[in-house]
Structure 1
Amino acid sequence: MRQPLFDFVVRWGARGALLGLAGCVDAYLPDIINAPNRYLVVDGFINGNGVTRIKLSRTENVAATAAPPVEKGAKLFIVDNTGQRYALTEKTSGNYQSDSLLLAASRQYQLRITTADNATYQSDATVLKVTPPIDKLGFRVASNQVQLVLSTHDASAQSRYYSWSLVETWQFNAGLESTLEYYPKLNGPNHSLMDTRTTPIYTCWRTEQPTTIAQTTTSQLSQDAITDYVVRSFSDRAERVKVRYSVLVSQYTETPEEFAYRELLRKNTEAVGTVNDPLPVQLTGNVHRLDNAAEPVLGFVGAHTVQAQRLFINKADLPAHAPTYYDTPYTTCGESYLYFCDDQGTCDVAGVIKLFASPDYVPLDYTTVPRAGISSASADCADCRRRGTTTKPSFW
């Protein structure tokens, strides 16, 4: 699944309003920004060698703080130029999915949508682009940046327009390690217990999908080949590479029209906010409402096969650094101490233990200095599940 491209556009409406410039420049807010219209947003593509996933939502007024509304209860079909139909079903609200398909490259395909209120939409029929495999996926470190580099080619010179999406996963550790765990009511309703930890909370995995648009073209080159294209770059201080990092790169080839649409989308979402940036422009996709051609619709539904490769980067693969070299959310974390007895010798062991009934605090270990008690930390510092999952990915 490609990264969600429309978060910015959904907020600003189908006409692509102008952004207010930073600093002392007054924001320009056209009437369209505050208009009540909620236009359909279609996010996804027809997958020629796998599962097609389409997200339907509606544009939202720029002043709204809630997430853009999803379009539930629609009926979606992929249709080819011979009349063959493939249904998509709604898996979660606004998210529609087909079975795994193997589509014929000789045909043209379009997406047809009927909303719950019987409005009908369809994308323009388009050829199925067959994507060549990724020849090489690797990385290099340059100027304190980890660069993910990719090479590919099409000997038939039929691809020319390339796009990539990434899903990143990395292993990380919490800022502080806990060896103790609070067990409530093990000895009856009025008793709790502090014992050796059995629930893992130190090592987790986090997955993110970058929203930046990575694409390039060989249309001006004599050969349809790309060598060491940087599809992603991030600081070598990033937490991603402190322990182990993995990225799944999916490659697509596009029609010139889809490439141009995504290039405008990239400029609208990634290159606005300063005086020297280009102004946002209206996005005209290939999805239309059949019973109201004047209604704007956001989205471009292409059709292509997908090629993917996974890359791993281990800590040992990079130049060695001290643990403090890396930027993590845990740099300000520290321990606090709860003692069983106060300075006057009054003790309340059970009361101290029960303080950890709160999920916001984690016991770390026993301490005897300067007196018996428990070291502790906030869950944000000691429980990695606040930012990830302790379930190891199947590909790890």
Structure 2
Amino acid sequence: MRKYLSILVSLLIGSCVDPYNPPEVTAPNTFLVVDGFLNGAGASTIRLSRTQNLKEGAKPPAELNATVLVEGENGSSQPFTEQGNGTYTLTDGGLQFGQKYRLRIRTAAGRDYESDYVTIKQTPKIDSVTWQPQAEGLQFYVTTHDPNNQTKYYRWEYEETWEYYSAFVSRVEYLNKTFVYRSENVNTCWRSDQSTGIFVGSSTQLTQDVISNFPLVFISNSTSNRLKVRYSLLVKQYALTDEAYEFWQNLKKNTESLGSLFDPQPFQPLGNIHGVTDPGETVVGYVSGYSVEEKRVFVQAYELPSWRVPTMYESCVEDTLPLQPTREKSSAFEMAEAGFVPIDEVLSMSGQVIGYRMSTAYCVDCRTVGTNVKPSFW
């Protein structure tokens, strides 16, 4: 064992000399990525993009000027409309529950792709979204059922929104090289995030088609300010076929594996979209068909235990800057030009403005991490 550890340490030290770029990082292939679903009760949206190498940036390039169609098993066909940035929509396709449809794509380069036929499933309503305080935060649960015992497989996504306050209430802003009274509130903001995990459930082992208190999302009471003022969770529910469930379950295992030698090794989940021009070409994505059910809940801070939820502004400090520079400090004008944000005026005994309290933009202007436009549902 000691010999093995010595070899491992030597390899790690040696790796610090010349960085290793594995072939996958600079692979020339860019595979088509298809993201979206066929909606049986509203607009359908499909997003097309391309994979890219890890060092090329965080945002995948969009697939533009493609032709996207939905075809029914009965021979019907309807085109999607390109909205820009790789997004294609079908406003009202009149897709029928229980019927089978497939997606056809032709890129601007003339390459054709198609999905398998998928059955449009009607998603049952969400019975409830509940929450329960725990020692380290708040656990949310979703409950649903299908009285017809026909769904069996479910998937959920969520969107969370929370209200928060900046460290300081700013009355003044710096515009056109002068200080003026602020015209809008930059102390109260809202922020929203989309779920990134994969949440799937099945009732196949039960006598009834019921999902009871499925643990959806956990909100920590010590690592964010989500629970400081008011929090909202919008849950979206989708009914899956058994094939779609298997795809998402495999993808979940593949992305959430800890990577131990004793864990199942990662694999490439096979989607249901295939190349027609080149049947051997890899295509990333899975097209399903269903309706969407939603339910939103709110949580007020006063409903929770007396937790010491952080504001995320604990390290913020203010400084008083004079109008004219001194040996100790730059002037308020110089600091404003450097990006500092004024809070309010500092007055002399006679009521004259002699300086401004200031801090960083993050500490003063809540829009640096969110928006001060109140959501319509708030």
Q: Same fold (TM over 0.5)?
A: yes
Alpha-carbon distance in structure 2 between the residues aligned to 1:327 and 1:278:
38
Per the TM alignment, residue 208 of structure 1 is displaced from its structure 2 partner at its CA by 0.8
Aligned counterpart, 2:283 = 297
Alpha-carbon distance in structure 2 between the residues aligned to 1:150 and 1:221:
17
Alpha-carbon distance in structure 2 between the residues aligned to 1:268 and 1:292:
26
C-alpha deviations, 1:325-370, integer Å up to 9, x for none?
22343221110110235679x9x9xx94533653721111223599
C-alpha deviations, 1:235-274, integer Å up to 9, x for none?
1233111111112111001011111111121122222455
Select 1:205's aligned residue among 185, 190, 193: 190
Could you tell me which runs of 5 or more consecutive residues in structure 1 were left unpaired when the two chains were aligned. 1-22, 186-191
Letter in 2 for 1:388: G
The alpha-carbon distance between structure 1 residues 353 and 143, as it changes in their structure 2 partners (threshold 3 A), is: closer
Aligned counterpart, 2:317 = 334
* 2:204 is the counterpart of 1:219: yes
* 2:361 is the counterpart of 1:379: yes
1:73 aligns to what SS in structure 2?
coil
Select 1:239's aligned residue among 225, 241, 247: 225
1:380 aligns to what SS in structure 2?
helix
Q: Summarize the alignment of residues 228-267 of structure 1 with structure 2, pairs less than 5 Å apart.
A: 228-237=213-222, 238-267=224-253
Q: Summarize the alignment of residues 299-338 of structure 1 with structure 2, pairs less than 5 Å apart.
A: 299-321=285-307, 325-338=308-321
Aligned counterpart, 1:363 = 342
2:226 aligns to what SS in structure 1?
helix
Alpha-carbon distance in structure 2 between the residues aligned to 1:99 and 1:163:
23
Alpha-carbon distance in structure 2 between the residues aligned to 1:343 and 1:55:
57
Identity across matched positions, percent: 36
Whether contact under 8 Å (1:359, 1:379) holds in the other structure is no
Alpha-carbon distance in structure 2 between the residues aligned to 1:114 and 1:314:
49
Whether contact under 8 Å (2:228, 2:310) holds in the other structure is no
The alpha-carbon distance between structure 1 residues 28 and 251, as it changes in their structure 2 partners (threshold 3 A), is: farther
Alpha-carbon distance in structure 2 between the residues aligned to 1:202 and 1:126:
48
* 2:78 is the counterpart of 1:96: no
Aligned counterpart, 1:107 = 99
The alpha-carbon distance between structure 1 residues 148 and 308, as it changes in their structure 2 partners (threshold 3 A), is: same
Alpha-carbon distance in structure 1 between the residues aligned to 2:324 and 2:21:
62
Select 1:136's aligned residue among 128, 139, 144: 128
The alpha-carbon distance between structure 1 residues 201 and 275, as it changes in their structure 2 partners (threshold 3 A), is: farther
Alpha-carbon distance in structure 2 between the residues aligned to 1:100 and 1:155:
28
Alpha-carbon distance in structure 1 between the residues aligned to 2:321 and 2:24:
57
Whether contact under 8 Å (1:184, 1:357) holds in the other structure is no
Alpha-carbon distance in structure 1 between the residues aligned to 2:306 and 2:89:
44
C-alpha deviations, 1:163-193, integer Å up to 9, x for none?
00111111111122212223436xxxxxx3x
Alpha-carbon distance in structure 2 between the residues aligned to 1:377 and 1:266:
43
Alpha-carbon distance in structure 2 between the residues aligned to 1:156 and 1:48:
18
- Decide which moves more: 254-263 or 369-378: 369-378
Per the TM alignment, residue 57 of structure 1 is displaced from its structure 2 partner at its CA by 1.3
Whether contact under 8 Å (2:69, 2:104) holds in the other structure is yes
Alignment root-mean-square deviation, CA: 2.8
C-alpha deviations, 1:49-87, integer Å up to 9, x for none?
122111111122344345322211111112211222232
Question: What TM-score do the two structures reach when normalised by structure 1?
Answer: 0.83
Whether contact under 8 Å (1:272, 1:278) holds in the other structure is no
2:217 aligns to what SS in structure 1?
strand
C-alpha deviations, 1:77-134, integer Å up to 9, x for none?
1221122223222223112222044421131011111100111111100111111000
Alpha-carbon distance in structure 2 between the residues aligned to 1:101 and 1:229:
32
The alpha-carbon distance between structure 1 residues 242 and 102, as it changes in their structure 2 partners (threshold 3 A), is: farther
Aligned counterpart, 1:36 = 28
Per the TM alignment, residue 213 of structure 1 is displaced from its structure 2 partner at its CA by 0.6
1:240 aligns to what SS in structure 2?
coil
* 2:101 is the counterpart of 1:119: no
Select 1:58's aligned residue among 44, 50, 62: 50
Alpha-carbon distance in structure 1 between the residues aligned to 2:243 and 2:182:
57
Per the TM alignment, residue 210 of structure 1 is displaced from its structure 2 partner at its CA by 1.6
The alpha-carbon distance between structure 1 residues 328 and 72, as it changes in their structure 2 partners (threshold 3 A), is: farther
Aligned counterpart, 1:163 = 155
Letter in 2 for 1:218: S
Per the TM alignment, residue 28 of structure 1 is displaced from its structure 2 partner at its CA by 11
Letter in 2 for 1:391: V
List, as ranges, runs of 4+ consecutive aligned residues in structure 1 with deviation greater than 6 Å: 23-30
Aligned counterpart, 1:3 = none
Whether contact under 8 Å (1:366, 1:375) holds in the other structure is yes
